[in-house]
Amino acid sequence: MFGKEELLGLNGPKNGLALYLWRFHNAVSARVAAEQGCEGDRRWPSKDMCPQCWNQTQDSGQMWDVLDEAHTTLKATGVDPSLVTGFLPDESKVVNILAAKFWKDY
């Protein structure tokens, strides 16, 4: 789930574990927001906090597979599912922001 096996071998366990937990956090945040009918983007970091962390896709309907469940929930509740589409993460940039925010000895 969320690429755990792949990530725990990625560039050492610290980066892989951090990315796995980050993916899981984003999935839970988006799902809870969808279930509660909250509109707005719940991905972290936000696009304005880290513009280089999210790349806009050519296909506005393309979706990060981590948010599949939130997308399905949004559609079922009648909330616009485009809130979780159109951007894919640049996980190398995400690792940099995680390191800067949460572990200073990186």
Count of domains for the chain? 1
Provide the 3-class DSSP secondary structure of residue 89. Answer: strand
Which pLDDT does position 16 carry in this prediction? 79
Closest CA to 31 of 1, 72, 60: 72
Domain that holds residue 85: 4-102
Digits of tens for pLDDT over the chain (106 positions)? 656 566 666 555 567 788 888 888 888 888 787 778 777 777 889 888 888 998 887 776 677 777 777 777 777 877 777 766 777 889 889 988 888 888 766 5
Q: What pLDDT does residue 93 have? A: 92
| Residues whose CB falls within 8 Å of the CB of residue 49, separated by 6 or more in sequence, listed in order | 97
Q: How many CB atoms lie within 10 A of CB 91?
A: 18
List the one residue out of 39, 52, 87, 46 whose CA is nearest residue 66: 87
Taking the C-alpha atoms of residue 32 and residue 36, their distance in angstroms, rounded to an integer, is: 6
Q: Does the pTM exceed 0.85?
A: no
